[in-house]
Structure 1
Amino acid sequence: MSVLSTEDEGKFLMDIRGEQIGIVTEVDPIEQIAYVDPEPTLTNAWLQSLGRGDAGEDDLEIPAENIETITDSEIRVDADLSSEA
Structure 2
Amino acid sequence: MTVLSTEDEGKFLMDIRGEQIGIVTEVDAIEQVAFVDPEPNLTNAWVQSLGFGEAGEDDIQVPADNVVTVTDSELRVDADLSSE
- When normalised by structure 2's length, the TM-score is 0.99
Aligned residue runs from structure 1 range 59-74, under 5 A: 59-74=59-74
Unpaired runs of at least 5, structure 1: none
Unpaired runs of at least 5, structure 2: none
SS at match of 1:13: strand
Could you say which residue in structure 1 is the equivalent of 2:28?
Answer: 28
- When normalised by structure 1's length, the TM-score is 0.98
Please give the root-mean-square deviation of Cα atoms over the aligned residues, in Å.
Answer: 0.3
Percent same amino acid among aligned pairs? 81
Size of the aligned set, in residue pairs, is 84
Deviation per residue, 1:19-61 (Å, 9 max, x gap)? 0000000000000000000000100000000000000000000
Could you say which residue in structure 2 is the equivalent of 1:75?
Answer: 75
Could you say which residue in structure 1 is the equivalent of 2:50?
Answer: 50
